[in-house]
Amino acid sequence: MGTGILESNSNKLISAIRKISVKKRLIYSFYLISILPLFIVAILFYRISANSIKDKISESTQQSLLMAKVNINSTIERLESNSIEISFNPLTQKVLSGYKELTDFELFTLEQQLQRDTAQHLTLAYYVTNVLILTKDLDIINAFGGRNRPIDLDKEYLENLVRKIHKAGGKSVFTVVNRDKNNPASKGILMSRYINNIETGERIGYILICVDETYIQGICKAATIGQSSYTIILDNNNTIITSKSPEYPSGSIFKDKKLQDNLFLGVYEDVSFNYVINGAKYLFSYREILYDQWQIISAIPYSYLNNETNMLSVAIIITILFCMLGVVFLTDIISQSIDEPLKTTLALIDRVNNGNLTVSDPDYSQDEIAIVNASFNNMIKKLKISLEKIKATEKQKLNLEFKALMAQINPHFLANTLNSVKWMAQMQNADNIENLVTALISILQDTMGKVEYSTLAGEINSLRAYITIQEYRYLDKFVVSYDIAPESKEFLVPKFILQPIVENAIIHGVSHKKGQGHIMIKSYISNGELFIKVIDNGIGVAADQLENILTAAPERKLKFTNIGLHNVNERIKLKFGEQYGINIMSELNAGTTVTINLPIIHKWCDENV
């Protein structure tokens, strides 16, 4: 129902379009389907997709920053706890309280014990690289990390650090330090605070815990999205605590103080905002880390965001191109009244080329293509009738050839046989004559039968009668042996397919051989097919004559055996197909092998199959 309504509307549209000139049709179609969607789709799709990308990246960055904030706060809390435990350690208190009175050996011993105790406190803090105890005189005691991993701290740096610690009023101070003076890129984040005497409360020294900067960078990495993006941590002094950006190295001062001040003052209501640095526009996202008012900032350049938008622009262009294909659709509607019936006719022609003679559904239209379609259908019907007649003629021809074969009697064969009978009557007893005549009668009875098939065993028995006659004719000129597969004896084969082949082997093969010849009759089954071989060791056939053996040329009709071979081969092919038939292999002075290839037909099958 729906299809009929659609077809009716399509026909009305075609009729309406044909009232307009072709030029106007093309112009209207172009503006309607191409130009108008070009502006509408480009503007809407670009804006929606660009905002969507920005929002999703902003949301993803915020989630990553939130996770980084939680992890960094947790790390700071663990460092605070570890610093307190190490500061209150009795060994730490003992070293700092009596540092000046300790001998070098006592100091070395206490330092070793302190390193073992500190290592136990930092079992889970794998990111800690060094722990230093600093005396009031700024002497350094290695509490963790050993002498093989020293931190490059000069006295001036330590003096500035102590001033910051005093200024912090008991809070921890975080600074950036080079962990290896030979490798400027190897940096750490140093947490420092003073140590008081447990009993008196007197300030007796300082603890410095160094964290591998790459650990903090790893936490920030998830918030770094896209090429040229970077994530940094700023303290309230506008100092960069950590960064992987070469433009903002760790320990340096952040260039844009205005941005940092606005972040700490809470000027931005949204945690994501646009900001321009050095003429480049960035999408900034930030989170406040509670300790000491740190800020973790992620900056994504709009050049990266625009790359994504450019990809969307390509998608827009592709979409527009698809819209422009609507012009092709209108053209198709205009021309479909020709195209559709023509395609049907071409499909019919293609089917006929592939051997399918099925006619197509009739085309009730009245145009020229419908007339061609009807004429082609009529031609197919007549062709089918002609093919059926040809098949019937070929079948009749096959039957006539078979009957002609049944009726063929070689005059030479009969004359030679009668001479043999006469000779035997004169030279031998009546028993031999009886055997010879019996064999002749058996052959004549087989030729007079109307059955087209016999079992392989029956064909062999008929062949034995023929061979009996030839043995009397040629005396001891040849011997015949049999190797018949037992399972093949009851298979059906066309009658009289072996006698012409054996006759050819005797007359043209072993009879001309010096000495006694040998003929082997063999059958076997391979790949579901029956094979019968007639093998002789006669004089063979020359290669240039071998290919003409199966040709029944009129000028060679006196050579009865060749006609017989051709007849057998054609009977097999006509009956079972081109893949079956006779194959001949021969070599001069070596012999000939004739192979018959047949399908397997069981005795209970219909003989006319």
Let me know whether 578 and 480 are in one domain. yes
- Comparing 23 with 473, the larger pLDDT belongs to 473
Note whether 423 and 510 are same-domain residues: yes
If one counts every other C-beta atom within 10 angstroms of the C-beta of residue 594, the result is 23
Domain annotation covers residue 350: no
Given this model, what pLDDT does residue 527 score?
93
Q: Which of 303, 325, 347 is the last residue of a domain?
A: 303
pLDDT at 555: 43
SS3 content of the chain, % helix, strand, coil (to 5): 55, 20, 25
The 3-class secondary structure across 45-60, one letter per residue, is HHHHHHHHHHHHHHHH
Q: Is residue 327 part of a domain?
A: no
Three-class SS state of 316 = helix
* Same domain assignment for residues 532 and 472: yes
Q: Percent of the chain beyond pLDDT 90?
A: 12
How far, in Å, CA of 569 to CA of 597, rounded? Answer: 10
Determine the 3-state secondary structure of 221 from DSSP: helix
Note the helical H segments in 20-141: 22-30, 36-87, 90-97, 104-121
Any idea what DSSP says for residue 486?
G
User: In this structure, how many other beta carbons lie within 10 angstroms of the beta carbon of residue 137?
Assistant: 8
Q: Could you tell me the two tokens for 169? A: 């009023």
How many domains would you assign to the chain? Answer: 3
Which of 271, 303, 335 corresponds to the end of one domain?
A: 303
**pLDDT at residue number 591:** 92
Percent over 70 (pLDDT), the chain: 72
Considering the domain architecture, whether residues 266 and 298 belong to the same structural domain is answered as yes
Are 105 and 170 members of one domain?
A: yes
Token digits of residue 559: 């050579």
According to the model, what pLDDT value does residue 592 have? 93
More confident residue, 181 or 426: 181
Decide if pLDDT at 483 tops 90.
yes
Q: Confidence band (pLDDT; 50, 70, 90) for 292? A: low
Strand-pair partners of 239: 253
Give the per-residue pLDDT at 520: 95
Compute the distance between CA of residue 64 and CA of residue 219 in angstroms, rounded to an integer: 9
Report which of residues 130 and 29 the model is more confident about.
130
pLDDT at 338 over 70: no
CB 215: neighbour CB atoms within 10 A? 19
Residue 570 has pLDDT above 80, yes or no: yes
Q: Compute the mean pLDDT over every residue in the chain, rounded to the nearest whole number.
A: 77
Owning domain of residue 412: 408-599
Q: Are residues 370 and 292 in the same domain?
A: no
User: Are residues 445 and 548 both part of a single domain?
Assistant: yes
* Residue 542 placed within a domain: yes
Q: Is residue 119 part of a domain?
A: yes
Among 115-119, 135-139, 555-559, 570-574, the range scoring the smallest mean pLDDT is 555-559
Reported as a pLDDT band with limits 50, 70 and 90, residue 336 is low
Which tens digits make up the pLDDT trace of 63-91? 888 888 888 888 888 888 888 888 888 88
Mind giving me the DSSP string for 269-299?
SSSEEEEEETTEEEEEEEEEETGGGEEEEEE
Residues 429 and 379 in one domain: no
Query: Does residue 319 lie in a domain region?
Result: no
What is residue 350's predicted lDDT score, i.e. its pLDDT? Answer: 74
Residue at 23 is within a domain: no
Q: What confidence category does residue 270 fall into, taking pLDDT thresholds of 50, 70 and 90?
A: low
What pLDDT does 595 receive?
A: 95
| Residue 33 falls inside a structural domain | no
Q: Is 131 left (phi over 0), alpha (psi -120 to 50) or beta?
A: beta
At residue 581, does pLDDT exceed 80? yes
In this structure, is residue 7 part of a structural domain? Answer: no
Q: What is the pLDDT of residues 5-61, one digit of tens each?
A: 666 667 777 767 666 654 566 556 666 666 666 667 777 777 777 777 777 777 888
The DSSP annotation for 538-569 comes to SS---HHHHTTTT---GGGTT-HHHHHHHHHH
> Residues 138, 190: one domain?
yes
Check whether residue 239 and residue 110 sit in a common domain. Answer: yes
pLDDT above 60: residue 407? no
Q: Which of 38-52, 103-117, 212-226, 518-532 has the lowest mean pLDDT?
A: 38-52
For 413-446, the pLDDT digits (tens) are 554 565 566 556 555 555 566 566 666 666 655 6
Q: Is this model's pTM higher than 0.75 or not?
A: no
CA angle 452, 454, 455 (to 5 degrees): 155
Q: What CATH number does the domain containing 548 carry?
A: 3.30.565.10
Q: Compute CA distances 221 → 127, 188, 215, 265, 425, whole Å.
A: 16, 17, 10, 26, 118
Length of the chain: 609
State whether 454 and 562 are in the same domain: yes
Q: Does residue 104 or residue 487 have the better pLDDT? A: 487
Residue 443 burial (C-beta neighbours within 10 Å; 0-12, 13-18, 19+): buried
Higher per-residue pLDDT: 532 or 411 = 532
User: Does residue 329 contact residue 341 with C-beta atoms inside 8 Å?
Assistant: no
pLDDT mean over 409-414: 49
Q: Which contacts (CB < 8 Å, 24+ apart) does range 10-15 have?
A: 10/333, 13/333, 14/333, 14/334, 14/336, 14/337
Q: Which of 284, 303, 322 is a domain's end point?
A: 303
CATH number at residue 294: 3.30.450.220
First to last CA, the chain: 49
Would you state the structure tokens that stand for residue 289, as one six-digit string? 């880390």
Between CA 496 and CA 597 the distance in angstroms is: 15
What integer is the mean pLDDT of 496-505?
A: 90
Radius of gyration over alpha carbons of the chain, in Å?
Answer: 54
Arithmetic mean of pLDDT, 298-302? 83
Q: How many helices (H) and strands (E) does the chain have?
A: 16, 17
Are 206 and 188 part of one and the same domain?
A: yes
